[in-house]
Amino acid sequence: MIAAERGAGKNTLDAYARDLADVSERLQAVGRSVLDARTEDFRAYLAGLTARGFKATSVARKLSAVRQLCRFLYAEGHRKDDPTAMIEGPRRGRSLPKILSVAEVDRLIETARALAARTEQSEGERLRALRMICLLEVLYATGLRVSELIALPAAAARRDERMLVVRGKGSKERMVILNGAARDAMKTWLAALAEAGRFEGSRWLFPSFSETGHLTRQHAARELKDLAIAAGLRPDKVSPHVLRHAFASHLLQNGADLRSVQMLLGHADISTTQIYTHVLEERLKSLVRDLHPLADEG
């Protein structure tokens, strides 16, 4: 149902499969199944997750998977009730997203360019550096999810266009803006690949020998952490998702409105985008402090 009706991607489907397999296994251990489990059985399962050391966010995700399954079973007539309807999820404090400063993003890009410009290096090392420049420039220019970034087609770089259509979560399409640096980085990267005779005929912007034919999320994240170390930044502070946060935060700092950022990020609900409101609050405070005629009298 979530694949056919909601257009869920592979990562979402895999996560649901793991979560539902886990609850099914725990219910079987007490002689139950999802078809006859009671509310107290599911409450005991959730309590067991906490005892097993799962964080509140993981417990909430597993509860969401169970809820959706029970609702589906009830709607399809496989159950006469929904035993999860009265279960409250764990309270979660919403943590602020990790972000990088503009100077830190600049340092990452400058380090990648310096690595690509080294004279004493193998062809493979130079190609990896050029690929990293391309990954960084496109990611910071667009705020794409890493899964969207690695699955970009090579055709995206062959059209001299300022807009790019991206298929995101739920197979929903949205437009993102490409700046000149991102377009140049894509063309330089593909030209270097062609010159080296690598991955001829590949349809992907970031081809590899992986099962999918393109760079994996894990590989992109590892190389970004290696770059962070080379740039003198803490590797635990840098990831593709942190750069997505940086894209959004820096837009808001420079005057973008929350609704526009929501559209660019591909958030279905603006409440998801509201994790960045702390950036807006700081900007509004500085506006009042710097521009209000009575600011200095307080």
Q: Whole-angstrom Cα distance, residue 152 to residue 259?
A: 25
Q: What is the pLDDT of residues 17-55, one digit of tens each?
A: 999 999 999 999 999 999 999 999 999 999 999 889 888
Is 71 designated active site?
A: no
Of 26, 107, 145, 245, the active-site residue reads 145
Of 26, 79, 128, 244, the active-site residue reads 244
For 83-137, give the DSSP string.
TTTTPPPPP---PPPP---HHHHHHHHHHHHHHHH-SS--HHHHHHHHHHHHHHH
Residue 6 has pLDDT above 70, yes or no: yes
Which of left, alpha, beta for 37 (phi over 0: left; psi -120 to 50: alpha)?
beta
Of 26, 128, 131, 267, the active-site residue reads 267
- Which of helix, strand or coil describes residue 260? helix
Task: Say what the pLDDT of residue 291 is.
Answer: 59
Of 32, 43, 174, 241, the active-site residue reads 241
Q: Whole-angstrom Cα distance, residue 128 to residue 151?
A: 17
Spell out a b/e string for 24-56, using b for 16 or more CB atoms within 10 Å of the CB, else e.
Answer: bebbeeeebebeebeeebbeebbeebeeeebee
Taking the alpha carbons at both ends of the chain, their separation in whole angstroms is: 59
The packing angle between helices 123-142 and 240-253, to 10°, is: 40
Q: Whole-angstrom Cα distance, residue 177 to residue 140?
A: 11
Is 244 designated active site?
A: yes
CB-hemisphere CA count at 13 Å for 106? 4
Q: What is the pLDDT of residues 49-105, one digit of tens each?
A: 988 988 888 888 899 899 999 999 999 999 999 999 888 877 665 555 677 889 999
Q: pTM for the full model?
A: 0.68
Q: Whole-angstrom Cα distance, residue 31 to residue 86?
A: 22
Query: At 282, which amino acid appears?
Result: E
Query: At 154, which amino acid appears?
Result: A
Task: Say what the pLDDT of residue 174 is.
Answer: 87
Q: Whole-angstrom Cα distance, residue 168 to residue 184?
A: 24
Contact 74, 82 (CB under 8 A): yes
Of 32, 67, 71, 169, the active-site residue reads 169
Contact 166, 148 (CB under 8 A): yes
Residue 45's closest CA among 57, 63, 58, 21? 63
Q: Whole-angstrom Cα distance, residue 186 to residue 184?
A: 5
Residue 227's closest CA among 116, 98, 103, 101? 116
Average pLDDT of the residues in 206-218: 92
Kind and range of the H or E run holding 167: strand 163-167
- Name which residue leads in pLDDT, 57 or 220: 220
Task: Say what the pLDDT of residue 282 is.
Answer: 60
Residue 289 has pLDDT above 80, yes or no: no
Is 183 designated active site?
A: no
Is 145 designated active site?
A: yes
Q: What is the pLDDT of residues 133-146, one digit of tens each?
A: 999 999 999 999 99
